[in-house]
Structures are given as structure tokens and as C-alpha cells.
Structure 1
């Protein structure tokens, strides 16, 4: 199992989170003794990609532990759930993790029931990611040259494992993904751990690489996909999608499911992080210079070839079909 696929762990003394801000140069774990500590770690980017989902699951278990001695245990657990969801509002994985645990919490046994819900949420996410990877792998030919942006963790692991099981070989180009360099530090590292041929490019090389004919598909994860087919993902995805369309390269966006609570892009809050994070990453210290950091962008459906879900691929204009399967 790649390192990042098991980077958030529950223990008797709290939750331990692998610090992705320094990975892979160092493998340091941040100890969170309380649910609030976990919320702060998520806000501070200690964990990224799929990591916040798992952190949210185990944070809810800590909230249940804390609630046992309180006069209104459920109020504390629900309140902490709201706090966790608010930490990174664009990605609805946090909301889903909290929902799963709250749906199982029983006031007669808050800790045991929360723990059961968190374990169920953990297994469900991993199972859906495997299914998602299998569907995406089927859409890519053997020896496909894939351009990625930012994503790491279980979507990526599911895709690579499915390809390997099918006897396919993929080669990846990873954008560095500024300002946190998730592509350079997380995506590329995970692919290398899995024995996949990986080439790192700087963000400003991507359009040229697409134009050169060296890429067969642009494949990214999505933090959220709206019901009308807008793909919300790490800032920079929009530019890649526009370039890919210009040069005839298909764009596959991977997500467990379109968000039924987000009919349009206007229904998705876009997280803006402190501009200082851009300056810090660049080593700029001049106080007269400002930074601007919208953490996500929105790609209109006309630039998206296929939305791949755990139930298979969908045209961006036909995402209502995903939820119709539940009826």
C-alpha cells in the first residue's frame, strides 16, 4: 500500500496524521488529541487530497469520546461535525464523512456507534475508489500517456491498481501543482512507490506538453462535480482542461458521485486561502507584495469529456442518470 493510502490513524491518545506539508522529504506525524486539533490540522493543510475525509471520520470518534461526560453529548458531536465541514468548504468529502458518522451515532453508546460509523465510512470510501479506478482504467488504452494535476491517494491508487490488474501500463506526467507542490511531492511520489513511470513537469509546461502530442488523456480527480457538469478541482485544472480541448486531448474527471446538493457551480463555495501562502512558497518576504490564492477553480462542462464515477462514466450533460440509479 502506498504511504499516503494510510496516512490518518486513530489511536487511544487521539488521531495521528502524516504531515503532507513536509512529505516525502520527512515522514512526520502530527498528533491531534482532540477533534478541534484535527479540524485545525485540516485547515492548516497538514493533510490533503483524500486525507481530510479520513481525518474527519476519526475526528468524529474523538468528538464522541469528548462528549461522554457532557450533559448533552449529541449537541457536542453535531457541533464538532459542523466545525469539521467548515474547515475546507469546497470539497464535500468532509460533509460526507461527517454525515456517515452522524447517521450511526446512538446517544446510548456514542463512542461505540461513532467508531462503527467511521469504520464503515473508511471501507465505503476505499471500495468506491476501487470501483472508480476500474471504470477509469477501462477508458484508457494500454500504454496511455496521462497528464495529471495535484491528485494523490485512493482515486489514483484505484486507477493504477485497476490498470495493473488488467495488464495495462500507463505513463504519467505530473504537474508540480503550486503553491503547495502536491503534484511534485504527493502524486509523483505515490506513482513512483507503485512502480509507475512518472515524469514531473512544472505547471507552466503543461500546455506545451499537451500541444506536443505527448499526452493521450488529461485525468484528474475532482473535489466536487455539480449536477450540470461543472468540475471543481485544484486551482490550475481549468487551464489544463482548456488547453486539452484546444489540442484534442480528452479530459476525464474522476469523482465518486456528482453532488446532488450542488445543481450548478454557483452552489459550490470556493475556498480562498491566505495570499501569504503563495508568497511563502515562493520565498517572497517583501511586505509590499500581495499574494492571491483561490485554492480551487471551476471547469465548465464544455471542456470536460467524461465524468467518471464509481458507477461508471457519464457525459457531463447526463449526470442526473447517476442518482436515478438509486430510485
Structure 2
């Protein structure tokens, strides 16, 4: 059974506080949009899919409790203002912005129906948010299966097992369950085709060491933790067959924003001739942006670099630059972009997604 980052039933939402992992496993109640915003910003919950799900479910919890209104116009305004606020918590990941737009449109459409009632609109919005949770798990399993099949055909067409390298955390803790890049790894394991996983520690927040390693041990997947600076050596000496990472935003030309350090990983993989894959749901694809230069990159507080668990490790007075993400150019994504609809090369992505939605 996979770990649960999100526990929800109608009117109740709890999140696994990922700041406390792996030392403590503590679920925190989220009863409001404001509390969800704080949890997302503080990275108690993280991962582009999970951010959107928690944001929308926090609004569903408030709606269930009677927030918004009275009246349809006041209710729709409350929903739209809440969603716009949630988008500001962490702007680089597109999932929350896309979910906010879609949920806002649902609110407007439902309120505009003849005979619409406040209760009916509330129910429709709550159901919409709940459907997000269910759909994410289905999509993740499809990503895992598509990615595993494509990777094996590319890397091990004659059979045998593969060793993969991954960065940051893209598993159950970053989604509603199963995971994106880690979902591909789970699918390889289920097929008996996974030999080993190398996961990076992922400085400065150590999502790889704290979260991915935690998931891999929990799932009993053979794995080794390495520092971010060891990836070139690992590719040179440890028979890495493929690199699989997630994404917070994929734009029209295939450029991809992901956890900082991904770009250098892609460069090294290209040098060693190792296929580099990006695994992301369609909800992470933003075709409104032409290139990665258009992506707003979140910058985090400097103390994330200068301190670990409250203990300062850097010299006082040193300057800090701490972008949370970097952009990998599409030409370095040599394996493909894995979605729930299939695996596409960066140049195929826009056509593939627009044709399947038309």
C-alpha cells in the first residue's frame, strides 16, 4: 500500500506534514483555504499535483461548512477569491492555477443555470474537487505504465532489468497516490524489471533524502541515496540506464520547469547518452507559454541554504540565491515526456495534447 500524503472525506481534510518526515509521521487537519495556503507555502505539502488537490479540497471543506454566500453571486465571488489566493502560494507549478481556472468556471456555469440554488452549486463544486483526488490516482497509474513500457523498449528491448536515477520527490507524497516519475519506477518494480534506483538528496530542502528515500524504503524498492554532486559519477560508473524526473510545468515547446538541479542532470545524461525522461500529468502542461523563458521561477528564503534543521551551516554575512526550480531545455529531454495519454517527444507534445482534447 502506498503512502498517503492526503486523507480526505466529505468535510474533513488532513495532510501529512512533510517537514517532519522521516522522523515523524503526523497528519495535520486543514480546515480553511488560508490554512491550506500556509501549508503549501511552508512546504508541509508539496508536489505540483498535491498542491492543486489540497488547495481545491480545502475550499471544498469550507464550502461544506457553509462558507460563502448568502446568495449565488456572493458564493461565486467567494470561490473565485479563494482560488486566486491559493494560486499565489507557489506560482511556478501550473496545476493549482489550472485547477483554479477550471473550478471557477464550474462555479460560474452552475450559478448561471436556470433554477440554480446555492446548495446545488456548493454540492457541484465539492464533487468537482473530490473528483480531482480520484482522477489523479488513475492518471498516475497510467503515467507509470506508459513510462515503464516506453523505457523498457528503449533501454532493455531484449529483456533484463534496468537501473534508473531520479531527482527530488515525485511519488505518493507529491500526488494523491502512486506518483509520476516514482510511479514509473513502481511500475518497473511491479514488472520485475527494476534493478536499482539512485535518488539524489535534492538540496537545499532534501526532498530526495527525506521523502523519496522514505518512500523507496517503505515500498522495499532497491535504492541508493547520493548527493546532487554525485550524479555524473553515478552515470559514469553505476550502469544507469535512464533518468526519470517530474515536472511542475511543461510549456508548449517542451521546456520543463522542475526542482532546481534537474537542468544539470539533463546535461550530464546527454553527455553519457542516457535517455532523460520527464513524467508529468497533462494538468502540468501549460501550452499557453511558448518557451521556458516565460515561466516564473519561485525564489525561496535564503535560510533554506544557510541552515539545516535550525542550525546554521554557512558563514554569517554570505549572500544567497535560492531558486526553487530551473528550466530544462526541450532538446535535453531525450527519452520523452510521459503523460497519462502516452509518451511524446517534446516536439510532439503540443500537437498530441491539442488533438486528444479537441
Which of 189, 196, 205 matches 1:171? 196
1:211 maps to 236
- The one-character-per-residue Cα deviations of 1:134-180 (angstroms, maximum 9, x if unpaired) are 11101233411100000232214532443244342242000000111
Q: Distance in 1 between matches of 2:241 and 2:356?
A: 31
**What runs of 5+ residues in structure 1 fail to find an aligned partner?**
none
Relative contact order higher in (CA < 8 Å, ≥ 6 apart): 2
1:51 maps to 50
| Alpha-carbon distance, 1:289 to partner | 2.2
- My pick for the range that moved more, 288-297 or 163-172, is 163-172
TM-score, normalising length from structure 2? 0.84
Q: Distance in 2 between matches of 1:40 and 1:66?
A: 21
Matches within 5 A, 1:3-22: 3=3, 6-10=4-8, 14-22=12-20
1:277 maps to 304
The question of whether the paired residues in 2 share the 8 Å contact of 1:102 and 1:114 is answered with no
The question of whether the paired residues in 2 share the 8 Å contact of 1:100 and 1:121 is answered with no
Q: Distance in 1 between matches of 2:81 and 2:122?
A: 16
TM-score, normalising length from structure 1? 0.92
Matched, 1:90 2:92: yes
Q: Distance in 2 between matches of 1:12 and 1:317?
A: 42
2:341 maps to 311
After TM superposition, the runs of 4+ consecutive aligned structure 1 residues lying more than 4 A away are 11-14
- The one-character-per-residue Cα deviations of 1:6-29 (angstroms, maximum 9, x if unpaired) are 222336775321110111210122
The question of whether the paired residues in 1 share the 8 Å contact of 2:68 and 2:78 is answered with no
Matches within 5 A, 1:111-122: 111-122=122-133
Q: Distance in 2 between matches of 1:67 and 1:22?
A: 31
1:134 maps to 145
Which of 124, 129, 133 matches 2:135? 124
Matches within 5 A, 1:1-327: 1-3=1-3, 6-10=4-8, 14-49=12-47, 50-64=49-63, 65=65, 67-70=67-70, 72-105=74-107, 106-107=110-111, 108-109=118-119, 110-141=121-152, 142-153=160-171, 154-156=179-181, 158-257=183-282, 258-281=285-308, 283-284=312-313, 287-305=316-334, 306-322=336-352, 323-327=354-358
Equivalent pairs counted in the alignment come to: 325
DSSP-derived class of the 1:253 partner: strand
**What runs of 5+ residues in structure 2 fail to find an aligned partner?**
112-117, 153-159, 172-178
